Amino acid sequence: MSKNSLHHKRLWTWFVCGLVLIFSQTVAAEQYAILVGIWDYENPNLQLDAPRNDLELMRSLLSSHGIAEENLHVLTNPSKVKIQLEFRELSRRLTASDSLLFYFSGHGTRIIDKFGSFPGDEAKGRYPDQNDEALMPADVKLASPETYLLDDELNVLLSEFQTREITCVIDTCYSGDILRDLRASRKAHQ
């Protein structure tokens, strides 16, 4: 992909995100966001450049559209534990009428579905693939699957929120199915 094409793709992505935010304004009591950007990994082979800028652009975009600074939970280069703690702390505060945006910019990957809380669950459903999608926190150890934030774990964290208004933007490789189970479980509860 050419540098110019990549630039246009990024601009288009930000334009679409802006439209989603502008046109999906809800009558929620409060709007909250958990914004995660990881560029400085403990493993020197995983360093990234874009998430630092992406994180600041997303924070600025949300702030300019009226989300209070105290409701923007910005995590720079967090560990898996820090991400999980932020989700759990915020899930205790949000009400059913609040809304949440989760944004993640960093590395993502797929690993064989034999770890986590629901081993083997990826073999079921409409598009079985035998893999868990995973986000890679700053402290990820490539040879230790327990250090990844698996799609199963993310779905459990998101399910703990009372709010029905959750938007997720996952800017990683292999992010396509990361929220598949959450979508299915939320439809079942409606």
Each residue's pLDDT tens digit, 43-67: 999 999 999 999 999 999 999 998 9
Check residue 19 and give its pLDDT.
44
Query: Sorting pLDDT into bands at 50, 70 and 90, what band is 88?
Result: very high
pTM for the predicted model, two decimal places: 0.77
pLDDT at 103 exceeding the cut of 70: yes
* pLDDT in the model for residue 32: 95
Average pLDDT over the chain, rounded to whole?
80
The hierarchical CATH code for the domain 28-189 is 3.40.50.1460
Torsion of the alpha carbons at 73, 70, 157 and 132, rounded to the nearest 10: -20
Whole-angstrom distance, CA of residue 105 vs CA of residue 114? 25
**pLDDT per residue over 112-145, tens digit each?**
665 545 545 554 555 555 677 889 999 999 999 8
Separation of alpha carbons 54 and 99, rounded Å: 21
For the chain, the structural domain boundaries read: 28-189
